Amino acid sequence: MNTAAFFDIDGTLYREGLITEVFKKLVKYEIIPAERWYKEVKPEYDRWDKRKGNYDDYLLKMAGIYIEAIKGLHRSQIEFIAKNVVSQKGDRVYSYTRDRIKWHKKKGHKTLTISGSPVELVKEMAIKHEFDDYVGAVYTRDKDDIYTGNVISMWNSEDKKKAVEMLVKKYNIDLNKSYAYGDTSGDFSMMKMVNNPVCVNPTRKLVEEILNDSELVNRANIIVERKDMIYKLKAKDVNYI
């Protein structure tokens, strides 16, 4: 059986949310009116930036507008934007996570990414960082490759659990020897399923879920990367305010 490493992208590999960069491109190309950014999204961003709001609220606001914006567009338009975003921003990653991908590849482990970002973006990041396979949110298209406005999500814990199960069957993976890297509660199921869970700059909610799991708390590690320092903590030893 194979050992695998499952990676989230947004906030775990990439230092923010990739959909943020796509959103900016859609505004630049006037697919999304600029006023929607200033009236609907920027207030959520400002609240988070001042540490008064939740980053997930900011991302969900963008995701909702994104779904509306791409309805009626052709697949090639979004693929073009995705390629540009990853070409320009794809190296803006955490050094810890980048180095862990390289470590796993040297060990001969399967490197797999499961992300809530649009699958077009996930594909480009998978190519850039040489993942063996990828799963992302699927924004459905009709027979002419036009986006319908519907989405098969991949951002909550249950979605990611199903994705892991699919990849386990596909690659004959031994979860008892495998690893998972994530940063939000949407990654909790991945943490729970593997023997080596790693939280990378985790949200308070993910930390709370792990600390409240009597079995998982003894296995999980927490990585905090700030400036040019990387701190490694055992979840069971963590105290927070």
Write the burial class of residue 73 (CB in 10 Å: 0-12 exposed, 13-18 middle, 19+ buried): middle
Residue 76 burial (CB count, 10 A)? 9
Which runs of E-coded beta strand occur in the chain?
4-7, 110-118, 133-141, 147-152, 179-182, 196-200, 221-226, 229-234
| 230 alpha carbon, distance to own chain's centre | 20
Long-range residue pairs from 96-100, CB within 8 A, at least 24 positions apart, any chain:
96/200, 96/223, 96/225, 96/230, 97/7, 97/12, 97/13, 97/181, 97/200, 98/13, 98/129, 100/5, 100/181, 100/198
The 10 Å CB-count burial string (b at 16+, else e) for 158-168 is: ebbbebbeebb
Spatial distance between the Cα atoms of 105 and 179, rounded to a whole number of angstroms: 13
Spatial distance between the Cα atoms of 129 and 200, rounded to a whole number of angstroms: 18
Spatial distance between the Cα atoms of 73 and 63, rounded to a whole number of angstroms: 16
Long-range residue pairs from 137-142, CB within 8 A, at least 24 positions apart, any chain:
139/67, 139/70, 139/78, 141/75
pLDDT score recorded for residue 241: 66
The pLDDT of residue 218 is above 80: yes
Question: If you ran DSSP here, which 8-state letter would residue 216 be given?
Answer: G
For residue range 85-136, list pLDDT tens digits in order. 999 999 999 999 999 999 999 999 999 999 999 999 999 999 999 999 999 9
Spatial distance between the Cα atoms of 145 and 81, rounded to a whole number of angstroms: 16
Which superfamily does CATH assign the domain made up of 4-237 to? Answer: HAD superfamily/HAD-like (3.40.50.1000)
pTM over 0.85: yes
Spatial distance between the Cα atoms of 67 and 50, rounded to a whole number of angstroms: 27
pLDDT score recorded for residue 20: 83
Spatial distance between the Cα atoms of 154 and 122, rounded to a whole number of angstroms: 11
Please check whether residue 206 is in contact with residue 220, taking contact to mean a CB–CB distance below 8 angstroms: no
Please check whether residue 233 is in contact with residue 221, taking contact to mean a CB–CB distance below 8 angstroms: yes
Residue spans per domain, the chain: 4-237
Band (206; pLDDT cuts 50, 70, 90) = very high
* Among the ranges given (88-92, 152-156, 174-178, 179-183), the one the predictor scored with the smallest mean pLDDT: 152-156
Q: What percent of the chain has pLDDT over 70?
A: 100
